[in-house]
Amino acid sequence: MFRVKRLYTFMLQSFLPLFTMTFFICLFVVMMQFLWRFVGDIVGKGLSISVIGELFFYASLTMVPTALPLAVLLASLMSFGNLGEKFELTALKASGISLFKIMRPLIILIVLIAIGAFFFQNNVLPVAQTKMWTLMFSVRQKTPEVEIPERSFYDQIPNINLYIDHKNPETGMLYGMILYDLTRGMDNSRVILADSGSLSFTEDKKHLFLHLYNGEMFENLKENAMGVTTSGYMPFRREQFDDKQIYMAFDANFNRMDEDGIRSQYVGQNISQLRHSIDSIGARVDSIGSVYASEILAAPMMGISPKVTRREGDSAIIYRRPSVVMNVPLDIDSVFNSPSASYAKTYINQALNKARRQKMDYEYRSLALGEEAKIMRRHDIEMQRKFTLSFACIIFFFIGAPLGAIIKKGGLGTPLVISVLLFIVYFIIDNSGFKMARDGKVAVYQGIWLSSAVLLPLGIFFTYKAVGDSAVFNIDAYRNFFNRLTGRVPKRNLELKEVIMHEVNPVDAVEKLSSFDEKCRNEAKILAKKNVLIRRISYSGLHKLKDNMNDIVDYLSNSRDLVIINLLNNYPFNITPSNLNGVIDTTQQLINRIDRQREASEK
How confident is the model over 169-179, as pLDDT tens digits? 777 788 888 88
DSSP character at residue 227: S
> Looking at 27-31, 66-70, 101-105, 498-502, which range is the least confident one?
498-502
- The answer to whether 92 touches 7, Cβ cutoff 8 Å, is yes
> Looking at 90-99, 132-141, 375-384, which range is the least confident one?
132-141
Cα 107 to Cα 110: distance, rounded to the nearest angstrom:
5
Which residues touch 398 (CB under 8 Å, ≥6 apart)? 459, 460, 462, 463
Query: Residue 252: what are its φ and ψ, rounded to 5°?
Result: -100, 5
pLDDT tens, residue by residue, 296-327: 777 776 666 777 777 776 676 776 767 767 77
- The answer to whether 447 touches 430, Cβ cutoff 8 Å, is no
Cα 52 to Cα 31: distance, rounded to the nearest angstrom:
13
Query: Other C-beta atoms within 10 Å of 59: how many?
Result: 21
Which residues touch 560 (CB under 8 Å, ≥6 apart)? 496, 500, 504
Q: Which of 387, 378, 132 is nearest to 265 (CA)?
A: 378
pLDDT tens, residue by residue, 82-107: 888 888 888 888 788 888 888 888 99
Mean pLDDT of 578-596: 86
Q: How confident is the model at residue 226, as a pLDDT?
A: 45
Give just the sign of the alpha carbon dihedral 379, 384, 390, 394. Answer: negative
Using the predicted structure, report yes or no on whether residue 479 has a pLDDT greater than 90: no
Q: Which of 289, 274, 261 is nearest to 378 (CA)?
A: 274
- By CB atoms closer than 10 A (0-12, 13-18, 19+), residue 495 is exposed
Using the predicted structure, report yes or no on whether residue 143 has a pLDDT greater than 90: no
24 falls in which pLDDT band (50, 70, 90)?
Answer: very high
Q: Bigger pLDDT: 11 or 502?
A: 11
Q: How confident is the model at residue 490, as a pLDDT?
A: 67
Cα 363 to Cα 130: distance, rounded to the nearest angstrom:
34
Cα 469 to Cα 534: distance, rounded to the nearest angstrom:
33
Domain layout of the chain by residue ranges: 6-141+384-467, 160-249, 266-301+330-381, 506-602
Which residues touch 122 (CB under 8 Å, ≥6 apart)? 270, 271, 386
Q: How confident is the model at residue 462, as a pLDDT?
A: 85
Q: How confident is the model at residue 232, as a pLDDT?
A: 55
413 falls in which pLDDT band (50, 70, 90)?
Answer: confident
Largest CA distance in the chain: 139
Mean pLDDT of 474-481: 62
Task: Report the chain's C-alpha Rg in angstroms.
Answer: 42
Residue 408 zone, left/alpha/beta (φ > 0; ψ -120 to 50; rest): left
Cα 577 to Cα 523: distance, rounded to the nearest angstrom:
9
User: Angle CA(131)–CA(133)–CA(138) in degrees, nearest 5?
Assistant: 95
225 falls in which pLDDT band (50, 70, 90)?
Answer: very low
2 falls in which pLDDT band (50, 70, 90)?
Answer: very low
Q: b/e string for 140-172 if b means 16 or more Cβ within 10 A?
A: eebbeebebeeeeebeebeebbbbbeebeeeee
Question: Residue 424: in which H helix or E strand, if any?
Answer: helix 413-438
395 falls in which pLDDT band (50, 70, 90)?
Answer: very high
Using the predicted structure, report yes or no on whether residue 348 has a pLDDT greater than 60: yes
Mean pLDDT of 330-353: 76
Q: Which of 146, 256, 139 is nearest to 208 (CA)?
A: 146
Please report, as a single letter, which amino acid is at residue 432: S
Mean pLDDT of 413-420: 79
Query: Other C-beta atoms within 10 Å of 413: how many?
Result: 11
335 falls in which pLDDT band (50, 70, 90)?
Answer: low
Mean pLDDT of 545-573: 86
pLDDT tens, residue by residue, 187-208: 677 888 888 888 777 766 677 7
Q: How confident is the model at residue 44, as a pLDDT?
A: 62
